[in-house]
Structure 1
Amino acid sequence: MSEYLVDIKNERLSFFTPAGEVKALNDVSIHLREGEVLGIVGESGSGKSVTAYSLMGLTAYPGKLIGGSLYFNGHQVEEMTDKEMRKIRGNEISIIFQDPMTSLNPVYTIGNQIMEAVLLHTDKTKAQARDRAKELLELVGINEPEKRLRQYPHELSGGMRQRVMIAIALACEPKLLIADEPTTALDVTIQAQILELMMELKDKLGMAIIMITHDLGVVASMCERIAVMYAGKVIEYGTTEDIFYNPKHQYTKGLIRSIPRIDAKEHERLIPIEGTPVDMLNPPKGCPFAPRCEACMKICLREMPPVTNFDRVHYTQCWLNQKEEMEKGAAK
C-alpha cells in the first residue's frame, strides 16, 4: 500500500494527431499525501491539465498513456475499466473545471445538477438529495439556497456559478479535489473568496487539493508544495518556500521575475521570458527550455539534464545545477 494518496510515476502520455505525435507528458512524477495542497504551475500547453485529467481517466481521444503508472488511493488508474472509474470519479476524486458556464447544463436547474451527483454516488432518496443540495449551497456561501435550487445557470453571476461547481465537486466529500484554474474568469475580490472557501473546506473535510494555475500569487497563498511544469516535464519541484525563495531552474526564476511586486520601485518594468513555447510535435533533444534560456550551454541543447536533488523534497532538472554540484565536489 502506497504512503501517498496520489502517486504518479514516470507518466508519458501522447496525442496521436494527423500531424504527428504530440508528446504532452514526458516522464512526469507527482506525489501527494492526504490533506496536502499541491500547486501545478506553468504556461499554457505545459501539461498541467492533461496530468490532472489523466488521473481521473478523462484523457480525450486521440490521447493515450504510453508509459508510467498512476495510483490514486490504492487504485491503479490505467488498469481500471470505465465502470470502475465512474464509481470513484465524483465520489473519491472531484474536479472543478476552468469555466463554470460551460460545465453547467443550461437546461437543468442548479438543484437538479447538484442532486444528480448525490443520487449517483449515494443511496439517498430524492428528498434527502435535495436537502443535501441545499446544505451544500449553504456550505459554499450562497445566499437564499432554496431559491437558487430552482434557478438556471444563466440566472447566476460568475462567482455564484463557480461556487455551484464547488458544491457539485464536494457533494460526496471526496478525498481529492482537483481545481483547474478555478478563479480565471473571476474578479479579484470573488477570487479571494473562492480560494478562502476552498481552504476552509479542505480543513473541514480533510481533503487533498491539486491546484492547477498559471497565477503564482494563488499558489503562494494556498499550496504547501509546487510542481513547475514546462513542455510536458516537471522541471522543478519543492516546497512553496523553496520555489519562491530559492528557485534553481532558469524557467522558475523567469516566472518569479515576471510577477508584479508590491515593494517594487515606481515604473519598474517586469522582465518577460523571451521566445515562444516549444513545438510539442518536434521537441528539442535536450532541455526543452534551452532555446529560451539566457544561461544556455551547448550540452543543454544536446541532452536532457539528470535530476539534481537539493534536499528530500526539492529537486530540479538543469545542467547549471549539475555544473554547480560538480564544482562544489571539485572544491572539496
Structure 2
Amino acid sequence: MMSEYLVNIEHERLSFFTPAGEVKALNDVSFHIKQGEVLGIVGESGSGKSVTAYSLMGLTAYPGKLLGGTLDFNGHRINDMTEKEFRKMRGNEVSIIFQDPMTSLNPVYTIGNQIREVIKLHTDKSRKEVQERAVELLELVGINEPKKRLKQYPHELSGGMRQRVMIAIALACEPKLLIADEPTTALDVTIQAQILELMMSLKEKLGMAIMMITHDLGVVASMCDHIAVMYAGNIVEYGTTDDIFYNPKHEYTKGLIRSIPRMDSKEHERLVPIEGTPVDMLNPPKGCPFASRCDACMQICLREKAPVTHFGDVHYTSCWMNQKAELEGGSAK
C-alpha cells in the first residue's frame, strides 16, 4: 500500500563514531513531507539539518552510522537499500542543491559536460536529445545564451549563475523531491530572492516537494508549508509556518525569532542574540539540550528531556515551559 507521504522519517537515530567518542548527530528525529509540499528545516550550524537530508539519500559519510528508526521515501525503505539502488535513485527521484556551487561543480569540465552526464546516466535519450535537454534546462532556470554557457567552465560564471546551473542539474530528471541545502548562503540578497522565486515557480511547474535546509528564518517565511526547528540533533518544535512565526512554543524558537530584524518596529530596537555556545555533541546533557542557554530554564530542564506537547493536528514541541501549569498543580492545557 502506498503511503500518503512522499517522505516519512520515524524516530531516526544517527551517530558518528570518532576517535574521541560517539557524536550523537540525530536523536529520535521524526517528520514527513507530502507530494508538492515545502518543509523548512531550521537551526544553527551543527544542529543536524544536513545530516538528516544526506541520510535520506544514503550519503552518510564514514564514520556515520544509522542506529535506529525507519526512513521511507517514495516507496523505498532507505534502511534496506544497497549502494547500487541509491545510485539509481539519486538524481532521478531525489536531487540535492549543495551550499557552495563552486565546490560542487567540477572546475575541469564545462557546464554542458556536467549537465549532460546526469541526463545520460538516468535516461536513454540520444546524443541530440541530451543536448536539447541541457539547453532547455538552462532556459528553465533563467540563464541567457544557454548554448554559449554550455561551453563555459564554472569559473567563467557568476555566483548566481553557478547556483542556477546547480538547480538545472538537480532538475535534469524532474525529481519528486528537491533538497536545497542552504542554497542562497553565498549570494547577495537580490540574487537570493531570484533563486527562491525560481525554486517556487519550478515547484509549481513540476509538482515536486522541497526540503529547504537553512539557518535563516526569513528564507522559510515565504516558502514553506511546515517548519521543523532543530537543535542539537533534536526537532524541538514542528508546525505550520504560521504556528512557528505567530505562536512559537519552544524557548529556542522564540530566541530565533527575537534575533530577526523587524521591518514593522516603530523604534530602533536592539536585536536579542541567543547567549552561550552550542551543545558538545560528544557529551550531550541529560535534560533539554537547550537548557544551558535558556533564560526560562528550570531544575527539571537540567534533569529530564521534556515530553512532547501538542497544540493542534501538526503543531508540537518538547519544552518543559508548556508543562509548567501541570507541574504547579494546574491544568495541562
TM-score interval for Structure 1 and Structure 2 normalised by the shorter chain? over 0.9
- Alpha-carbon distance, 1:330 to partner: 3.6
| Correspondence 1:45 to 2:46 | yes
Q: CA RMSD in A?
A: 1.2
Counterpart for residue 163 of structure 1:
164
| Correspondence 1:305 to 2:306 | yes
**Closer, same or farther in 2 for the Cα pair 1:129/1:325, shift >3 Å?**
farther
**Closer, same or farther in 2 for the Cα pair 1:331/1:239, shift >3 Å?**
closer
Could you give the per-residue CA deviations for residues 56-80 of structure 1, whole angstroms, max 9, x where no partner exists? 0000000000010100001001200
The alignment of Structure 1 onto Structure 2 pairs a total of residues equal to: 332
1-structure distance, mates of 2:93, 2:327:
45
- Alpha-carbon distance, 1:3 to partner: 1.3
2-structure distance, mates of 1:266, 1:64:
50
Counterpart for residue 220 of structure 2:
219
Paired residues of 2:325 and 2:332 also in contact (CA < 8 A): no
2-structure distance, mates of 1:29, 1:97:
23
Could you give the per-residue CA deviations for residues 199-239 of structure 1, whole angstroms, max 9, x where no partner exists? 00000000000000011111001001000000000000000
- Alpha-carbon distance, 1:279 to partner: 0.3
Letter aligned with residue 282 of structure 2: L
> After the TM superposition, which residues 121-140 of structure 1 pair with which residues of structure 2 at under 5 Å, given as runs?
121-140=122-141
2-structure distance, mates of 1:97, 1:133:
20
Letter aligned with residue 179 of structure 2: I
2-structure distance, mates of 1:239, 1:142:
33
SS of the equivalent of 2:155 reads helix
Counterpart for residue 255 of structure 1:
256
- Alpha-carbon distance, 1:30 to partner: 1.2
- Alpha-carbon distance, 1:324 to partner: 3.3
1-structure distance, mates of 2:258, 2:297:
18
2-structure distance, mates of 1:31, 1:214:
20
Identity over the aligned pairs, expressed in percent?
82
- Alpha-carbon distance, 1:127 to partner: 1.5
Counterpart for residue 196 of structure 2:
195
| Correspondence 1:186 to 2:175 | no
**Closer, same or farther in 2 for the Cα pair 1:272/1:329, shift >3 Å?**
same
Counterpart for residue 77 of structure 1:
78
2-structure distance, mates of 1:238, 1:304:
20
2-structure distance, mates of 1:299, 1:325:
13
2-structure distance, mates of 1:292, 1:144:
51
Letter aligned with residue 272 of structure 1: P
2-structure distance, mates of 1:28, 1:7:
11
| Correspondence 1:58 to 2:55 | no
2-structure distance, mates of 1:30, 1:10:
9
| Correspondence 1:114 to 2:109 | no
**Closer, same or farther in 2 for the Cα pair 1:331/1:50, shift >3 Å?**
closer
Letter aligned with residue 125 of structure 1: S
1-structure distance, mates of 2:97, 2:105:
11
- Alpha-carbon distance, 1:8 to partner: 0.5
User: Which ranges in structure 1 are unaligned for 5 or more consecutive residues?
Assistant: none
1-structure distance, mates of 2:154, 2:318:
45
**Closer, same or farther in 2 for the Cα pair 1:331/1:278, shift >3 Å?**
closer
Counterpart for residue 10 of structure 1:
11
